[in-house]
Amino acid sequence: MNRHHSPVIPHVLIVDDAPDIRSSLCQYLKKQGLHTSSAADAAEARQTLSEAHIDLVILDIMMPGEDGLSLCRWMAANTEIPVILLTAMAADMERIIGLEVGADDYVVKPFNPRELLARARAVMRRHPATAFTAESRCRRFDKWIHNPKDQTIIHHNGSTVKLTSTENRLLGVLLDHPYRVLKRSMLLDRVMRREEKAYDRAIDNQVGRLRKKIEQDPSNPKILVTEWGGGYKLMAEVESTEAP
């Protein structure tokens, strides 16, 4: 479980002739901690592919000029870069899937950017050529920036606090699900190395320890809050960010 991935941030190329989709998608993925480029047509896409190191292509197949499908076929034949296809119509999608163009996944417009991101991650994770790690992402919450690679959190005033590895994992899971109550069993599952029989309340201890580091007043938690009878929840906006 402790795969230490490359610190390289994945670079996504978005190919779509609609400028609004290009920019909004770029913006969203950037905010989520990815690098992005965009191209308005297949020719531009080829250009970018030859110049930059691209880890994933998100490709709208309904484009003027060279068909998106032929670009997709070309990539499948000549590169290792995974492709996610976009199309406006579900009906077309079925036809296209039948064509076996070598795409790794398909999304129908209008899509939820979050879902697209999840699929992008899934595709990249599956793909040996791209080592994408959600674990190495830095995320901002409250007045802190979590740097999971260094096991540190950096306060807005500049001071740095070191986390232990368990605290680091715990914070990572909490940041994955802000505003949601996470049960002890779930946290135990993902955070602790438990030997079959685990003391159910080992997690309480870690929560308390993490509180001492991130809360202004650990006896009055504002960020890592207890839901009585439920579990714990992180009450803070979370935003992916570049390493500081």
- Give contact residues for DNA (rule: CB under 7 A): 162, 164-167, 184, 192-195, 197-199, 201-202, 204-209, 211, 218-219, 221, 226-231
Number of shown-chain residues binding a second copy (CB under 8 A): 66
**All residues at 6 or more sequence positions from 68 whose CB lies less than 8 Å from its CB, including other chains:** 15, 42, 59, 60, 61, 62, 85
Interacting residue with a second copy among 151, 213, 218, 239 (CB under 8 A): 151
Pair 16, 40: CB distance under 8 Å = yes
Quote the radius of gyration of the chain (alpha carbons, Å). Answer: 21
134 near a second copy, judged by CB under 8 A? yes
C-beta of 50 vs 219, nearer to DNA? 219
C-beta of 6 vs 165, nearer to DNA? 165
C-beta of 176 vs 204, nearer to DNA? 204
Pair 84, 105: CB distance under 8 Å = yes
Considering only 63-71, 132-140, 197-205, 209-217, which stretch makes contact with a second copy by CB under 8 A?
132-140
241 binds, among a second copy, DNA, none (CB under 5 to 8 A by kind): none
Residues 35-54 that bind a second copy (CB under 8 A): 35-37, 44, 47-48, 50-53
Q: Most distant CA pair in the chain: distance in Å?
A: 63
138: left (phi over 0), alpha (psi -120 to 50) or beta: beta
Closest residue by Cα to residue 146 from 71, 231, 66, 234: 234
